[in-house]
């Protein structure tokens, strides 16, 4: 197929927080699919915190984006050319298309979507990797029980909001932590959290811990860890014996080398390890890409709840590929409200 497309590459590796200079918008020819591949026109792409780690040249669970390489990311789009059996022009799919308006992809690695069942953007959030992360981490490693207390930070994001809504439906007391009064109102009024604490209103972890103790007088049984930093420091002394801590992320440290560049944690080892020992805590790190065999179960359980409105969805949609870098920088700073998505023109 003739014509041009655009993509965003990694121009340089950030030192600390990313800037617009770390990204480069390029125009190139639209590629032609090979046997077994399809050509996709991407309608929406996902922005997620893990992408910050891909920008560092540090050993991790996945290889970094090479300098000059297209930024990694999931997207949903329409098939406009196909050389793969079972895929026709006009089909919609989710795949790892990168920060790009078009992409060719191995059809075997794509997930076919039915746009008549709901917005295709759901595959990037509530019914995609973030929602799946929240569901799997809570149910597999949080092991929630009626009457327990759960805490989750980034409570209005796609992971935190999923965790809170599932926990609430199972009869837990749910405490969200978010940045700003507006987000806290969203957490309680839309996502149904019992309480939401604005971490920006507290000068340090000690002050936040005091508020948390008031919100959770019986202690914390499950802390779903996706932030780290001040929140982790505040929560650890509040954990109950035999508490569970699923760990899927640590966004507060990503710009400080949290994936391996050598920055020191503000937490001391004793403040972390002693509660784990004396309170018999279960701490389980997980990367959701290791658990895709459970994805069909997740869709069968959560899909109907999204369709019925039992699980609420909030999306923050930026316009245009050229605005993806600023939207991503805002995501890392907590400026988004809900799942951050970019609509491609």
Q: Is pLDDT above 80 for 268?
A: no
Local confidence band at 48 (pLDDT 50, 70, 90 cut-offs) = very high
Note down the domain range covering 266: 129-288
pLDDT of residue 264: 42
- Dump pLDDT digits (tens) for 156-204: 999 999 999 999 999 999 999 999 999 999 999 999 999 999 999 999 9
Q: Is residue 256 in some structural domain?
A: yes
Q: Is pLDDT above 90 for 244?
A: yes
The rounded radius of gyration (Å) of the Cα atoms in the chain is 20
According to DSSP, the residues that pair with 223 across neighbouring strands are: 151
Q: What is the mean pLDDT of residues 259-280?
A: 70
Give the whole-angstrom CA distance, residue 172 versus residue 337: 24
Tokens for 276? 């784990």
Looking at the 3D structure of the chain, how many domains does it have?
Answer: 2
Give the whole-angstrom CA distance, residue 104 versus residue 41: 9
Place of tokens 């790009």: 100
Are 249 and 230 within one domain? Answer: yes
CATH number of the CATH domain containing 171: 3.40.50.720
Are 94 and 121 within one domain? Answer: yes
pLDDT of residue 254: 60
Domain final residue, candidates 249, 272, 288: 288
Are 78 and 157 within one domain? Answer: no
Which of 63, 64, 80, 73 is closest to 8 using CA atoms? Answer: 73
Q: Is pLDDT above 60 for 207?
A: yes
Q: Is residue 54 in some structural domain?
A: yes
Q: Is residue 105 in some structural domain?
A: yes
- Phi/psi at 333 (nearest 5 deg)? -95, 0
Are 203 and 256 within one domain? Answer: yes
Q: Is residue 306 in some structural domain?
A: no
- Phi/psi at 229 (nearest 5 deg)? 60, -140
Are 154 and 93 within one domain? Answer: no
Tokens for 134? 């929240």
Are 71 and 189 within one domain? Answer: no
Q: Is residue 301 in some structural domain?
A: no
Q: Is residue 299 in some structural domain?
A: no
Q: What percent of the chain has pLDDT over 70?
A: 95
Domain final residue, candidates 288, 304, 329: 288
For residue 142, what is the DSSP state?
A: I
Burial per residue of 231-265, b for 16 or more beta-carbon CB atoms within 10 angstroms, e otherwise: bbbbbbbbbbeebbbbbbbbbbbbbbebbeeeeeb
Q: Is pLDDT above 60 for 259?
A: no
- Dump pLDDT digits (tens) for 56-98: 988 777 889 999 999 999 999 999 999 999 999 999 999 999 9
State the greatest distance between any 2 C-alpha atoms of the chain, in Å, as a whole number. Answer: 65
pLDDT of residue 258: 42
Task: Please provide the distance, in angstroms rounded to a whole number, between the alpha carbons at the two ends of the chain.
Answer: 19
Are 271 and 152 within one domain? Answer: yes
Are 235 and 212 within one domain? Answer: yes
Q: Is pLDDT above 90 for 247?
A: yes
Give the whole-angstrom CA distance, residue 7 versus residue 100: 4
Which of 151, 197, 206, 143 is closest to 174 using CA atoms? Answer: 151
Are 107 and 88 within one domain? Answer: yes
CATH number of the CATH domain containing 330: 3.90.180.10
- Mean predicted lDDT score pLDDT of the chain: 93
Are 118 and 139 within one domain? Answer: no
Whole-structure pTM value:
0.88
Q: Is residue 294 in some structural domain?
A: no
Are 139 and 255 within one domain? Answer: yes
Local confidence band at 267 (pLDDT 50, 70, 90 cut-offs) = low
Q: Is residue 303 in some structural domain?
A: no
Q: What is the mean pLDDT of residues 18-41?
A: 97
pLDDT of residue 190: 97
Are 65 and 147 within one domain? Answer: no
């Amino acid at each position: 197929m003739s014509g041009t497309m655009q993509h965003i590459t990694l121009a340089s590796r950030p030192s600390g927080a990313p800037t617009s200079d770390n990204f480069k918008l390029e125009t190139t020819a639209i590629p032609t699919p090979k046997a077994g591949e399809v050509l996709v026109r991407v309608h929406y792409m996902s922005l997620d915190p893990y992408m910050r780690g891909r920008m560092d040249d540090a050993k991790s669970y996945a290889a970094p984006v090479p300098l000059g390489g297209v930024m990694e990311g999931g997207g949903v789009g329409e098939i406009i050319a196909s050389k793969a059996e079972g895929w026709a022009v006009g089909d919609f799919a989710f795949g790892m298309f990168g920060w790009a308006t078009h992409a060719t992809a191995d059809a075997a690695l794509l997930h076919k979507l039915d746009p008549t069942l709901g917005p295709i953007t759901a595959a990037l959030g509530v019914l995609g990797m973030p929602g799946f992360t929240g569901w799997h981490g809570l149910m597999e490693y949080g092991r929630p029980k009626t009457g327990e207390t759960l805490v989750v930070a980034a409570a209005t994001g796609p992971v935190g909001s999923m965790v809170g809504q599932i926990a609430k439906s199972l009869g837990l007391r749910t405490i969200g932590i978010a940045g700003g009064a507006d987000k806290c109102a969203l957490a309680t009024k839309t996502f149904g959290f019992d309480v939401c604490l604005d971490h920006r209103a507290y000068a340090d972890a000690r002050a936040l811990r005091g508020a948390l103790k008031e919100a959770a007088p019986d202690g914390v049984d499950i802390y779903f860890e996706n932030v780290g930093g001040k929140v982790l420091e505040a929560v650890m002394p509040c954990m109950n014996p035999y508490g569970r801590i699923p760990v899927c992320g640590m966004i507060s440290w990503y710009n400080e080398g949290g994936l391996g560049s050598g920055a020191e944690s503000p937490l001391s080892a004793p403040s972390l390890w002693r509660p784990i020992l004396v309170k018999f805590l279960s701490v389980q790190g997980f990367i959701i890409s290791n658990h895709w065999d459970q994805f069909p179960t997740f869709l069968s359980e959560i899909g109907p709840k999204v369709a019925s409105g039992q699980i609420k969805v909030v999306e923050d949609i930026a316009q245009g590929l050229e605005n993806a870098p600023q939207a991503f920088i805002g995501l890392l700073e907590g400026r988004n409200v809900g799942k951050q998505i970019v609509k491609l023109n």
